[in-house]
Amino acid sequence: MAPYALLTELSEKLYIIKGGCGAASVVKMVNQLLAGVHIASAAEAMAFGARLGLNTRTLFDVITSSRGTSW
């Protein structure tokens, strides 16, 4: 059995991070930083739309069904 066979079966995507103990945690920190920035940017964009008088429910629906969403 290959060393990562079970993990490959259990995961949609499996990344092997080289660099020793803690390397994957550094990758996760970078990912979390990007997620936080995207959340803050989304909040700013929604506030901007509200300030311009847009219906925020409609704005949210448009953004989440288009490429404006980062997820």
Whether 4 is in a domain gets the answer no
11 in a domain, yes or no? no
Residue 70 lies in a domain: yes
- In this structure, is residue 37 part of a structural domain? yes
Q: Angle formed by the axes of helices 23-51 and 56-64, to 10°?
A: 140
Per DSSP, the residues of 8-48 read: HHH-SS-----SSTTHHHHHHHHHHHHHHHHHHHHHHHHHH
Which residues, 6+ apart, have CB-to-CB distance to 32 below 8 Å?
none
pLDDT of residue 8: 86
Position 1 scores a pLDDT of: 62
* Residue 41 is assigned to a structural domain of this protein: yes
**Given the residues 4, 23, 26, 28, the one annotated as active site:** 28
Q: 28 catalytic, yes or no?
A: yes
- The count of structural domains within the chain is 1
Residue 56 lies in a domain: yes
> pTM above the 0.85 mark?
no
- Structural domain range at position 48: 19-71
Is residue 13 a part of any domain in this protein?
no
Q: With a cut of 50, list the residues of the chain below it in pLDDT.
A: none
At 48 the pLDDT is 98
> SS3 for 1?
coil
**What is the per-residue pLDDT for 71?**
63
Q: What is the three-class DSSP state of 56?
A: helix
Residue 31 domain-assigned?
A: yes
